Structure 1
Amino acid sequence: MLKRIGLLVIIISLSFSPEIEAVKRGAAMTPWDEARQVFPRYSKFTVVDVETGLSFNVQRRAGSRHADVQPLTAKDTKIMKKIYGGKWSWKRRAIYAVKGNKKIAASMNGMPHGAGALQNKFPGHFCIHFNKSSTHRRREMDLSHKLMVYKAGGKLNMLLANASPVETVSYYVAGYKEQDKRILSLLSLKKTNWQPILKNVENAKIARLPLLPAEDLQDELTVNVPVEIEWQIEGEGRVVEETEIHLFRPSPASAWKVDSHAFLEDNPFLVDRDNVDE
């Protein structure tokens, strides 16, 4: 009888642990200046991948503008690699950083780099970014990390809905770069089957994009934005294309949407036309 009571107490205490309760709640958009106090150097915490729900433990080892972290054990490294489909990648992913009763929206990349000190079968460290953090080289927030932080914080719709035409195009190309169906779907005018498209995109970046002052476009309902994009396509390598991205909105108060079908027709190397419509 006493053993049963003791087991029941353990089960109850585990089900009400701060970490479990934190994961159930929405993630806070805590800025880096505050997040770095929650996760000081050498602190341990849990990373939860937003899309898969898989989690692993890490330790922050360094980083002044963002957190340089390492998986805690070889088991944690294995879980992280599973999240990335068994292959290390620079792709950003939306995550929750959880410690005690704190659950903070964040973004990680999945590429080991630099030095590592733990016995975890992870050759280096990887980066975790929070709201208003930045890379080592630039002061402003990395665009892709920003999208993932807002995605983790449940604010992605708001970010995209308030984007200017230039921001919309930048977010749209980043959606290809990060192979993120949600970002592309939210920005697209029509439903699109992204799976056969994104599987071929290894990287994408804007090489040239004109400045279009938002105040000059306040009353416009359509805008054609010329852009030069540098792609890295599986099986083809580097492809540089000058194209136009067609933006539409039903009213000046509405969010800009991309005609993705027209974009894919103008860039046929991305996918076979028969696979575009759902």
Structure 2
Amino acid sequence: MKSKQLLILAGLWFMLLPGSMIQADPLPAGADDRIELSLRSSSAAEYKTTVSISSRKWKKWLSSMEQAGNLPQPAPAYSVLELAAPASNGTRQLYRVYSVESGAYLLELDSRTVYRTPEEMKTDIDRLRQELAARHFGKLLTWTEVDKLMPKGTVLSITDLETGLTFQGQRRAGSAHMDVQPLTKEDTAIMKTIYGGQWSWQRKAVLVKTPSGVVGASMHGMPHGGDGIPGNNFNGHFCIHFAGSITHGSAHSDPAHQAMAQKAAGQLEDYHKSLSPLDTVKLFLVAVNQKDRHLLELLLNTGAETGLAAEWLDDRVLNARPIGEPPAPFRIPEDALEAQFKTRVGISRKGARPQGIWFRWSLSRTTPAGAWFITDIQPEAVIRGN
């Protein structure tokens, strides 16, 4: 089955789910008065979950919005909420929805005009966002729980959170995470499409269907190791990690897999808030190696920093990894809002020898309970070339 057909079928399936239509004070039949609220994991994701709203109050709220000038503060886009509504000229207008403590705001994507919604609308937006998140993301289960739910030999349904493409795989082995193989050559073809036609070690957030519901997980796309399903055109197995799983070689958790499992469970914001400044920098380097623009720009916290993001996402940067720990232990007071320290990073670039470079990292957060964001990165002297 072609990928386009799979996406269409997936969309139809979600439209049939209970709760996909929110109705109150129905509008009379006639013109296209649909109001749709959709949730995606990132602005680049094709896969989305949508509710259709048929309500007089929503139409009234939209007509009474006031222009607000600018968004009140940068809003970290852990996921993307969008609203499509009928416009006065008969077309449909698309808005990006931001709900912050001070209120809810709609950014009209065509004109970049910002509107503030009535307070009652913010309450509905927050409620519907929670409902959408419960349907769009998976549960956050630990490896110990998943290991019991899906023993070796279990056939899995695996959905990529970005494209929405779904394929079948079988758990073949793995004691600390799952070693999985696509079930058929058709499943292999779908998996390869998810990776743009080339096998890759890149970690991707995925949804894995289990007997007790859908679970957030992370997979890579590189065939390796043992092979056990003949005729599936997949020479080896690939790995799926869950919260708390570890690698078989190092017996340590893989930061990239853990971040993607949290993302697939809709817990990326809470995960980010749990990180220390040093762990935030390590996650940043994971995003560089993964070429994960969403995660990298999230840690920078503003679209205005796209120049810095582009510098680190440059294709000439092949790898960036931390070397050792900071030169001296440092403690950040619990109520601190700023942090600064140096770490050594090994960087490999196309056409150049690997280098070990010291970087000074500056981070900040808005409240003691908030997440740390990187505000500045300054390189210092090159230590050595390998």
1:129 aligns with 2:244: no
The match for 1:141 is 253
User: Whose strand proportion is higher, 1 or 2?
Assistant: 2
The match for 2:321 is 205
Offset of residue 154 of structure 1: 0.6
1:69 aligns with 2:180: yes
Q: 1:129 to 1:240 in 2, by over 3 A?
A: same
Match of 2:154 among 11, 28, 43: 43
Offset of residue 206 of structure 1: 0.7
The match for 2:288 is 176
- Please say which structure displays the higher CA radius of gyration: 2
The match for 1:240 is 356
Q: 1:190 to 1:26 in 2, by over 3 A?
A: closer
1:31 aligns with 2:142: yes
Counterparts of 2:333 and 2:253, CA distance in 1: 25
Match of 2:266 among 154, 160, 178: 154
Counterparts of 2:310 and 2:157, CA distance in 1: 29
Q: Write the deviation string for residues 165-196 of structure 1: whole angstroms up to 9, x where unpaired.
A: 11111111111122222222221143233467
Counterparts of 1:234 and 1:53, CA distance in 2: 33
Aligned partners of 1:249 and 1:257 also within 8 Å: yes
Aligned length in residues? 248
The match for 1:227 is 343
Written as runs of structure 1 = structure 2, the 5 A alignment for 1:63-102 is: 63-100=174-211, 102=213
Whichever residue aligns with residue 220 of structure 1, its letter is: A
The match for 1:4 is none
Counterparts of 1:208 and 1:199, CA distance in 2: 24
Aligned partners of 1:209 and 1:226 also within 8 Å: no
Q: 1:24 to 1:185 in 2, by over 3 A?
A: same
Partner SS state of residue 103, structure 1: strand
Counterparts of 1:24 and 1:208, CA distance in 2: 41
Partner SS state of residue 70, structure 1: strand
The match for 2:3 is none
Aligned partners of 2:319 and 2:347 also within 8 Å: yes
Counterparts of 1:253 and 1:238, CA distance in 2: 38
The match for 1:255 is 371
Offset of residue 72 of structure 1: 0.9
By relative contact order (CA 8 Å, sep 6+), the higher-ranking structure is: 1
Counterparts of 1:26 and 1:133, CA distance in 2: 19
Q: 1:154 to 1:223 in 2, by over 3 A?
A: same
Aligned partners of 2:159 and 2:167 also within 8 Å: yes
Counterparts of 2:192 and 2:226, CA distance in 1: 18
Q: 1:222 to 1:196 in 2, by over 3 A?
A: closer
Counterparts of 1:236 and 1:57, CA distance in 2: 41
Aligned partners of 1:165 and 1:212 also within 8 Å: no
Aligned partners of 1:166 and 1:212 also within 8 Å: no
- Percent same amino acid at aligned positions? 35
Q: Write the deviation string for residues 117-140 of structure 1: whole angstroms up to 9, x where unpaired.
A: 112111100110111111113444
Whichever residue aligns with residue 319 of structure 2, its letter is: N
Whichever residue aligns with residue 313 of structure 2, its letter is: L
Backbone CA RMSD of aligned residues: 2.8
The match for 1:55 is 166
